[in-house]
Structure 1
Amino acid sequence: MLLRWCLVFSLCAFASGRQSLRAAEPVKGPIEPEASLQYLEVDPGLTVELVAAEPDVVDPVAAAFDEHGQLWVVEMTDYPNGPPEGGPPLSRIRVLSPLKDQPGRFGNARTFADKLLFANGLLHWQGGVIVTMDAGIHYLKDEDGDGIADRKEAWFTGFVKGNPQLRCNHPTLGLDGRIYVANGLRGGSIAANKEKWGKESAPISISGMDFCFDPYTGEGEAVSGLGQFGLAFDDYGNRFVCSNRNPCRHIVLEDRDIKRNPNLVVTSVMEEVSAPAEKSHIYAISRPWTTSTQHAGQFTAACGLSIFRGDALPAAYYGNSFTCEPTANVVHRDILEPCGATFRAIESTEQREFLASRDEWFRPVYTFSGPDGALYVCDMYRAVIEHPEYMPEELKTRPDLTLGNDRGRIYRVVDTRVVKARKPGSREPVLNHPSAWQRETAHRQIVEKSQSIDPASLRLIALVDDVIPARLPALALLAASGSLQKSDLRSVFRLNKPAVQAYAARIAAKSFADDPEIHSLLIATPPADLDGATRMSVALALGAYPIDDASLDWMAAALAAVPDDAWLTTAIATSVPKDGAKLALRYWKHASESGADVSADEKRQIRELFSLAATQADREALKALVQQVASSAARQDKSERPPVALEGVARGLKTRGERIAPLLGELSPESAKVIRSLFEAAGTVAQSDAAPLARRIDALKLVGFAPPEMIAPAVSPLLVASENSLVAAAIEALGASDDAKVPELLLTDYGRRSPALRSVILGQLLTSEPRVTALVTAMEAGTVSLRELDSGRLTVLQRQKAPALKERIAKLVQAAAPADRSQVLAEYQPVLKMKGDPLVGREVFAKNCVTCHKIGDLGVNVAPDIADSRVKTPVQLLTDILDPNKAIDNNYFSYTVIDQSGQIYTGILSAETASSVTLKQPENKTVSILRSDIDEIRSNGVSLMPVGLEKSIPPERMADLISFIKNWRYLDGQVPKDVIR
């Protein structure tokens, strides 16, 4: 019986995730190159052709055609573990030539450079290649004509080394003439090394950012985005990246724009264009093996992203995104559709992939276009593609890790009917060619000064050429050479080509900053008449000009026209570092005229605008904001706009370390009374059982900003509410009060609170010395356990300055010092022989783990994924639970941030911009803090997970917990309980 159920489980794991029934027909490799074609399936009407294969190419991870028609290939044979100890690096760059007797095939490979370490990307530049390798950016060139690189320069170093999957990659030339490089996820401190660039500039931190540089001056910059292995541009200069679980992300906001407003909190700069993580769908026809069965049928190793812009596929494919998923043996296609300032992906409804193979060695990792207009795919062709770092311990030394490192293929996907129907014409690089490879190659040749073109010719292309995408590089080259004229921009805006207008607005701000004529040109068209991309570009461009009444009117009208475009709100906010109050008041006029119904998007917009305004405003402007709210409420505006605006102002004041109560004393008695009535009304809504839960929680957020004496009466009755989310909101609102009774109220019934609520209470009790004193007293009385504090909060507790309090804390810490981890592990070894009950283990998990971990539909994903029983043995799980700091991915280190007011925030660093940092906290909460408000930020060097869970989970329950983690997916009643282990 047990064998039978194990077989059922195995088949279910392979068939899950909406995979095709054809997955029951897997093909085991290795298969010879020509024969492997029969196992590939591609969209109907298209053809897959073999372009190159071993021995001419092995382990290809990147490739590009040069202007002479040769195919340059980066081979990463040292994946995954590097060269043998003491041996030379194994990566190399090979150059393949067209085979005269086999049209479309490439061979006669010559080695351009070898003994490279973890090479993974290249870009042709001035007769040589810019290569990402050895965690740096290098330049290689053959100068003596023997076909072998003899000039080798390290241009940039300082990218973090480590896992070869997580290193800088994809050097790509942008329209602006700068070269962009994907971070690889691990960051670094980047230093320019080329001698003639000089070394005066300080290293550039790219934590949470990608990198770009000027290839002539060496000027580098950290830019928005965080690509893992993939970076691409579309025709209009939009940049896209990908990472394992994120197949296509659009970089919407650049860090250089965010920097203009240091008061602006930006939590994200990227749009998830394609469905990410658990929302994604992969339809494999093989039997893919992933390190998490919960991720079956989803993206787990998205890489090699490109935006196709060739002319050898039907027009419907132009501008589509293509992302490789090597673990599932597929290349995924999404149609990108404009959506406001960004895009959204339209996935195929046919539940099939663009390109898929039944050969389980097919490992596509890179896509690119060629001079023939076709889509090309690099296939590493390996038995195993997963890096051993992500494998169970017992598989990390499996003998097949490098099987296939003597193989590799490159394929081409075309529609032969389209190719035959194309108009005859040259495939040489020209700026106004219908296919992107020719345009990009010509653009590169002009930028690198190996090809010249006069401004008059560029102007013709930029303004009247029939190939619309050609107009953008022409405009960019005019701007870069100083030849762009104001008349050019007037013509562009008159021609009404939205994509070109959007790009023109971007370069206008750089080429003609502060020019009143261009400023007037930018805002001449009402925002409602512009497409989303142009509206966004104009909003960002206005930041380069003095903000006058005309600009504010245009911005206010834009916000009112599209309240659902959150990116536009942020873009406009970057452009008004000082005039937020004026903008908010002008916007209010538009919003108030739009009727009583207030959408969630409009509420978000109002809250953000009034918060930003209050952050920047002087005293008079602050009073004007609050007076406007009071006036609207007094005029019987029964919509949710006045309370939402009031909350925004209060949030902005909190950022400044101020409260709204003192401001009320500066208003007229009538206005102050109206504002108080709004706070009272919020309290009434919060206590109303008839009101929707979400509205009650929103009301509590406003109550938390009320004058302190109003908070406790409104909130206290809700501390015993049945909904935990409502209680949590009440606790946070109560924490804003300076009432001396707050600690007593928070600690009432503390022992009966859930772990999640106790965590919220502890956060509030650590905000001031009197509250910490009450907390310490509760710990001494045994009401609260010191072990409930994570590492960040414990550090805050120990930093109290009052000598007597500090001494009491030291005694508590000494008494609660965690036992030696090795000793605890030894004591818990019998757990490994116990038969656990997974149903009981579910309850243990719900009580102790759900604030940070998710299994099935239980909990939230803050910490690393623990949902897959294949990844961890019982002994590994036991070690991870009892000694969580033994091995931590540095992406999950706990950070502590202390702001200027002494407020403490602890969590995992999830996003960084020039102006703010964002922490991900238990219960999947996020908090963003302005850098200007941060007094201290540090990595705690430990896991967010507390040490000492043995105090809460005795051995019998630990066995149950481990059984649940191992067997949770079998608890749906379909599997006999007696076969579950």
Structure 2
Amino acid sequence: MNRHVERILCALAVSLASAAPAAQFKFATQTLTVPDGFEVEIAAGNDLAPRPIYGSFDEQGRLYVADSSGASGKAEEQKADPRHRILRLEDTDGDGKFDKTTVFADKMMFPEGCLWYDGSVYVAAPPSIWKLTDTNHDGIADAREVWHDGKTLTGCANDLHGPYLGPDGWIYWCKGAFAEQSYEVNGKPFKSRAAHIFRARPDHSRLEPVITGGMDNPVGLAWTPEGELILCGTFFAPGEPGHRDGLIHAIYGGVYGKPNEVLEGHKRTGDLMPVMTHMGPAAPAAVRRYESRAFGEEYRDNLFCCQFNLHKVSRHVLVPDGATFKTKDSDFLVSDNPDFHPTDVIEDADGSLLVLDTGAWYKICCPTSQLSKPDVLGAIYRVRRKGAPKVDDPRGLKLAWGKMKPDELAKLLGDERPAVAERTVQQLAKKGKAAVPPLADVLKKSTSPKTRRNAVWALTSIDHPKARESVRLALADKEQSVQHATLHSVGLWRDRGRFVAFRVLDCLVHNEKPQLQRAAAEALGRVGGQYSVAPLLEWMPGFVDESSNLSIGTSVSNTATATDNALRVMEHSLTFATIEIGDPAAMKLWTSVSRGTAPRIVRAVLIALDQMEKGGLEPEVVAPLLASTDTKLRRTAAWVAGHHPDWGGVLAGFFRERIAANNLNDSDRSELEKQLAQFVSNEAIQQVLVEALKNSSSPLVMRQMLLRVLAQPGLKEAPKGWPDAVRAALDAKDDALVRTAIPTAHALALVKTNAPTFAERLQKIARDTSRPDDLRLDALAALPRGLREVEPDLMSFLVANVAPAKSVAMRGAAAGALAKAKLSDEQLLTLADTLKAIGPMEVSRLLPAFDHKTNEAVGLRLVAALKESKGLAGVRPDALRSVATNYPPVVQQKADELLAALNVDAAKQKAHLDELQASWPAGDIRRGQLVFNSTKAACASCHKLGYLGGNVGPDLTAIGPARTERDLLESIVYPSASFVRSYEPFTIITKNDDEYSGVLRKDAPDEVVLATGPNTEVRVARSDITEMRPSRVSVMPAGLDQQITKQELADLVTFLKNTKWGAN
């Protein structure tokens, strides 16, 4: 079957298989699409909540909503003039539609969260989290106090998000931005610029970080029934298509992406922790776990996530994956309106979902929003399942809450109404010590796992020794979900009661559920002692056999198919536990592989000793492991050694011996090259490299490898001895060694401080006719400033090598050398004549040789030669126009004539543009935004605005200040008239006479990659290319002005003219 047809059929099959029945609901400004069987209605229009951001229900069913004023200025401006509000919405007649609104709190700084808890509303409004209380019950917060002072306010105001109430009764929040905040954690000062999830008791005591990250914006939190924490946020993993934002399983002690210098100094267990669910540039604003049965059992404990940039709410089914989760992802609610921006999703007591659409006001540090439109308001929508059974008294308002004693409340812990069960846990927590006995009875006698689990959460919320004692009972619970919650509880409180650690150890080694084992490891780190270290380490190889990547422990059935993410999560919790226990003496017994210790255990020990306080890890232990036969152990040893510059002396000895070894194979040398490159900034290692290069008895392959190490980027100054070593290599008779030394010389000549010069030796190589021609050309190409003087023989050599008969690489190198060389007028006349017989790629590359010249004869010869040139098709009119600028008028006139011949339609194009502008209707920015994002214009398929869009064409996020309206009009109507640098089109012809055109994405020695259209590219092996030339036809098709109306064209230009990067 034809491969193209086969791909189409496969794509069609996938499309048909993934398509699900859907229902659509039309509103004034948009159509909302949900799965079939659901319905959507407006629960609160913009007359009640104009720009809702976040919300939270109180026990009576009143919804507190953080509502924006529409102000989208920088953070300091908003702090100086706070105009946002907290509203209280009420549904007085119980029809599911709010009909009354009260301003609960006005003059608020930008609100980034909303939590009702114990009679107060908590709101993150950077730099603080506020506690707002209505003490006289008039619906207005008359008491305002700072519950948490973050002390920082950055320009984007993403310093704080939240807060959120965990099932454990602690309050959690997120720190974003990268401003330094200072706290006291466990009695010690804690300073950090990194992103974090923090938690504290409701009285703000026991504050501590949960995770650390290099991401810009950790935002929303949700918990599984067992207490596993899920975070949504941005910039976890930028750089790869489909990545950037998403969901992570937030494991205690984990350090998450992206790579960032703010992570320096934070305890690590190896690589950055994995992302659970990738979303691309979605800007997720909130994530919630669905608890009710109203949507059907298949929806229970699913996650719903608001994707601000993508105008939808997504559904994520959690699937156990070893010690963590995977997700099955689908769209749940999707809008066709680019101004629909969901910011929160809330489960109501009856099982319906509220979706808060904040409207189009927001553009603070969010270029993807494109425009700030404070007049485009939002609303609150309600999603129901058709035919869902009605729940009687879903909030338990008929219950006499104020009169119930603890034993009566305990009977409601298993209530099927989520709001009732949640309120019961909180009410029992408020009872304190008096609630402990009935909760202990529940743990002993209840047959309902849910009831017992909620009893654990109630006890966890109580700060009393009796509560700690009672919750320990559940460590032996037969239901793993109850055990799981209990492990979280004892770890959270660092419960070091009698035999607690031994019971936790039992959970680690005597069950088959990896998530429970991981939770036990986490708890051991907070409650265990020296006796816990050995079991933690011994369990390490119980999950991964290094040779097979399969489980070899007691839990084969659950982990044999676990992903790399799952293994990384388990490894982290086991390792981090040993770091927290902090007993170096117990760890050092496990550092020797030669004693039979499994490599995975040695890896964990190395990391733990390196990261724990006073670990005392010695370089003599680590250095031999750099040569381990186990790849992961070898790389871990390199990672550990990499942040110990004081180990240079010991490592130098190791590398000296390693370089001198005569039994290294290609793989060994490759690994050694990577290790040396990692330590290349270490002074002791630098001298080892010099010594080895000077050793003439070193094998050629080793000296070549050392030269490649010397070429590593990032050094500000060439280390002592390096330039002389490279010069010696350039003087060598061996062409292979010289060929490797040339790029090293080029790299060292580009350092910022005291750059050495290799020009004399490179020119000597270039003039040496006994050397291969391609080597001579490489030497010339490595001269950073080109040749200052070109003698006749060398000029003839260069000119000969731009001839079509030469290879593409040699033609390119020769053309590049000539373009950079300082040529005399006579030589330029010769070079101009050469243009007649060479190809378009070389003609284009040689034009810069004639730039900034003034000689009339040279200019006239250039234009005349181009007129006859076979490569004229590769000359871009704008490039020739630029070169001709400095020549006398007669040359410019001839150039204009040639340009007219090159572009016979130029006059027609200019007349057409003049006509368009003369009859130009007034453009509208907002209509232009719609045109840009429309399928008819399809601009977003190739161009990026903010973080959304394609990458075939230039990023247009900040195009407005850089271009006139005439420029923008020309680029739309005649996209081939001029090209943005780095987006010039090229044409490739292969040996099979296949022809490809597109934007050059990669121009490497082994292959060329062209972007040929939206989401399409072609890869061609360099050896298959017979011709490569600049194209004069843009990838962007001409004629867009024929596809859209003149008004739409005016709107589009107006929109583009007003695009700019910034907070507003």
Q: Secondary structure at the residue paired with 2:37?
A: coil
What runs of 5+ residues in structure 1 fail to find an aligned partner? Answer: 1-16, 193-199, 278-298, 595-601, 634-638, 666-671, 767-771, 787-826, 838-854, 880-955
Q: Distance in 2 between matches of 1:540 and 1:62?
A: 32
Of residues 90, 113, 116, the one that matches 2:83 is 90
Of residues 190, 203, 221, the one that matches 1:216 is 203
Cα RMSD after superposing both structures:
5.9
Q: Secondary structure at the residue paired with 1:57?
A: coil
Mapped pair 1:960 → 2:981: yes
1:783-798, aligned counterparts within 5 Å? none
Q: Secondary structure at the residue paired with 2:981?
A: helix
From the superposition, tell whether residues 698 and 106 of structure 1 become closer, same or farther in structure 2 (CA, over 3 Å).
same
Of residues 280, 284, 287, the one that matches 1:302 is 284
From the superposition, tell whether residues 421 and 53 of structure 1 become closer, same or farther in structure 2 (CA, over 3 Å).
closer
Partner of 1:390: 367
Paired residue type of 2:629: E
What runs of 5+ residues in structure 2 fail to find an aligned partner? Answer: 1-13, 235-243, 257-263, 402-411, 546-563, 731-736, 763-781, 786-850, 853-875, 881-939, 965-976, 987-997, 1002-1009, 1017-1030, 1037-1064
From the superposition, tell whether residues 451 and 358 of structure 1 become closer, same or farther in structure 2 (CA, over 3 Å).
farther
Partner of 1:871: 956
The offset of 1:744, in angstroms, is 4.0
2:24–2:32 CA contact under 8 A, matched in 1 = no
Q: Percent identity?
A: 18
Of residues 451, 454, 457, the one that matches 2:438 is 457
Paired residue type of 1:571: S
1:703–1:711 CA contact under 8 A, matched in 2 = no
Mapped pair 1:717 → 2:701: yes
1:72–1:94 CA contact under 8 A, matched in 2 = yes
The offset of 1:331, in angstroms, is 0.7
From the superposition, tell whether residues 154 and 515 of structure 1 become closer, same or farther in structure 2 (CA, over 3 Å).
closer
The offset of 1:228, in angstroms, is 3.8
1:728–1:760 CA contact under 8 A, matched in 2 = no
- Structure with greater Cα Rg: 2
Of residues 390, 394, 413, the one that matches 2:383 is 413
Q: Distance in 2 between matches of 1:403 and 1:755?
A: 62
From the superposition, tell whether residues 233 and 187 of structure 1 become closer, same or farther in structure 2 (CA, over 3 Å).
farther
Of residues 933, 953, 972, the one that matches 2:1012 is 972
1:903-939 CA-to-partner distances (Å, cap 9, x unmatched) read xxxxxxxxxxxxxxxxxxxxxxxxxxxxxxxxxxxxx
Partner of 1:362: 340
Q: Secondary structure at the residue paired with 1:493?
A: helix
Paired residue type of 1:250: H
Q: Distance in 2 between matches of 1:698 and 1:547?
A: 38
- Worse-superposed segment, 65-74 or 870-879: 870-879
Partner of 2:845: none
1:665-684 CA-to-partner distances (Å, cap 9, x unmatched) read 9xxxxxx99x9689837732
Paired residue type of 1:377: V
1:80–1:387 CA contact under 8 A, matched in 2 = yes
Mapped pair 1:232 → 2:227: no
From the superposition, tell whether residues 755 and 124 of structure 1 become closer, same or farther in structure 2 (CA, over 3 Å).
farther
Q: Secondary structure at the residue paired with 1:474?
A: helix
Of residues 257, 275, 278, the one that matches 1:275 is 278
Q: Distance in 1 between matches of 2:709 and 2:961?
A: 37
Q: Secondary structure at the residue paired with 1:50?
A: strand
The offset of 1:376, in angstroms, is 1.9
Partner of 1:377: 355
**Which gives a bigger RCO, structure 1 or 2 (Cα 8 Å, sep 6+)?**
1
The offset of 1:503, in angstroms, is 3.3
1:228–1:241 CA contact under 8 A, matched in 2 = yes
1:305–1:321 CA contact under 8 A, matched in 2 = yes
Partner of 2:295: 313
Partner of 1:474: 455
Q: Distance in 2 between matches of 1:417 and 1:755?
A: 76
1:678-730 CA-to-partner distances (Å, cap 9, x unmatched) read 98377323478xxxx7x786787899999958965778626657xxxx98568
Paired residue type of 2:333: L
Mapped pair 1:251 → 2:229: no
1:269-307 CA-to-partner distances (Å, cap 9, x unmatched) read 654111243xxxxxxxxxxxxxxxxxxxxx332212222
The offset of 1:450, in angstroms, is 7.7
The offset of 1:253, in angstroms, is 2.7
From the superposition, tell whether residues 238 and 759 of structure 1 become closer, same or farther in structure 2 (CA, over 3 Å).
farther
Paired residue type of 1:303: A
- Worse-superposed segment, 585-594 or 435-444: 585-594
TM normalised by structure 2 equals 0.57
Paired residue type of 1:131: V
2:456–2:474 CA contact under 8 A, matched in 1 = no
From the superposition, tell whether residues 183 and 567 of structure 1 become closer, same or farther in structure 2 (CA, over 3 Å).
same
Paired residue type of 2:701: P
Q: Distance in 2 between matches of 1:191 and 1:576?
A: 24
From the superposition, tell whether residues 552 and 114 of structure 1 become closer, same or farther in structure 2 (CA, over 3 Å).
same
2:120–2:132 CA contact under 8 A, matched in 1 = yes
Q: Distance in 2 between matches of 1:43 and 1:313?
A: 11
1:51-450, aligned counterparts within 5 Å? 51-81=43-73, 89-100=82-93, 103-161=95-153, 166-187=158-179, 189=181, 205=192, 207-217=194-204, 220-225=207-212, 227-244=217-234, 245-254=244-253, 264-266=267-269, 270-277=273-280, 299-348=281-330, 353-382=331-360, 386-387=363-364, 390=367, 401-405=373-377, 408-420=378-390, 426=396, 430-447=412-429, 449=430
1:624-664 CA-to-partner distances (Å, cap 9, x unmatched) read 8889x89xx9xxxxx933x7656655664565446598699
The offset of 1:498, in angstroms, is 2.7
1:258-278 CA-to-partner distances (Å, cap 9, x unmatched) read xxx98953466654111243x
Q: Distance in 2 between matches of 1:75 and 1:957?
A: 47
1:934-945, aligned counterparts within 5 Å? none
Q: Distance in 1 between matches of 2:417 and 2:504?
A: 31
Partner of 1:684: 665
Q: Secondary structure at the residue paired with 2:318?
A: strand
1:1-16, aligned counterparts within 5 Å? none
Q: Distance in 2 between matches of 1:93 and 1:141?
A: 12
TM normalised by structure 1 equals 0.61
From the superposition, tell whether residues 556 and 377 of structure 1 become closer, same or farther in structure 2 (CA, over 3 Å).
same
- Worse-superposed segment, 496-505 or 677-686: 677-686
Q: Secondary structure at the residue paired with 2:146?
A: strand
1:840-851, aligned counterparts within 5 Å? none
From the superposition, tell whether residues 177 and 402 of structure 1 become closer, same or farther in structure 2 (CA, over 3 Å).
same
Q: Secondary structure at the residue paired with 1:576?
A: helix
Q: Distance in 2 between matches of 1:757 and 1:878?
A: 40
Q: Distance in 1 between matches of 2:981 and 2:416?
A: 63
Paired residue type of 1:717: V
- Worse-superposed segment, 867-876 or 91-100: 867-876
From the superposition, tell whether residues 876 and 546 of structure 1 become closer, same or farther in structure 2 (CA, over 3 Å).
same
2:126–2:152 CA contact under 8 A, matched in 1 = no
Paired residue type of 1:575: A
Q: Distance in 1 between matches of 2:617 and 2:88?
A: 68
1:177–1:214 CA contact under 8 A, matched in 2 = yes
Q: Secondary structure at the residue paired with 2:69?
A: coil
